[in-house]
Amino acid sequence: MALSSSVFAEPVTIVALGDSLTAGYGLANQDDGLVPQLEGWLKAKGADVVVQNAGVSGDTTAGGLARIGWALGPEADALIVTLGGNDLLRGIDPASSKASLDGILKEAQARGLPVLLVAMKAPGNFGPGYKAAFDGMYADLATQYGALLADDFFAGLRAAGADPSDPASLAAFMQADGIHPNPEGVKLIVAGLGPRVEELLARAGG
Per-domain boundaries in the chain: 10-203
86-127 pLDDT, tens digit per residue, is 999 999 999 999 999 999 999 999 999 999 999 999 988 999
Mean pLDDT, the chain, integer: 93
Active site residue 20: yes
Instruction: Using alpha carbons only, give the angle 6, 11, 12 rounded to the nearest 5 degrees.
Output: 120
* pLDDT of 50 higher than 90: yes
Candidate list 20, 32, 59, 87, residue with the active-site label: 20
Which stretches of 33-150 are DSSP H helices?
Answer: 34-44, 61-71, 85-90, 94-110, 128-145
Candidate list 4, 6, 166, 177, residue with the active-site label: 177
Helices 61-71 and 94-110, axial angle in degrees (round to 10) = 10
Whole-model pTM? 0.93
- Which pLDDT band, with edges at 50, 70 and 90, does 67 fall under? very high
Helices (H) and strands (E) in the chain, counts: 9, 5
Give residue 56's Cα distance to chain centre.
12
Active site residue 152: no
Question: How much is the pLDDT for 6?
Answer: 46
Active site residue 177: yes
% of the chain at pLDDT higher than 70:
96
Classified by CATH at the fold level, domain 10-203 comes out as: Rossmann fold (3.40.50)
Average pLDDT over residues 22-40: 96
* pLDDT of 193 higher than 90: yes
Candidate list 32, 87, 97, 180, residue with the active-site label: 180
Question: How much is the pLDDT for 8?
Answer: 54
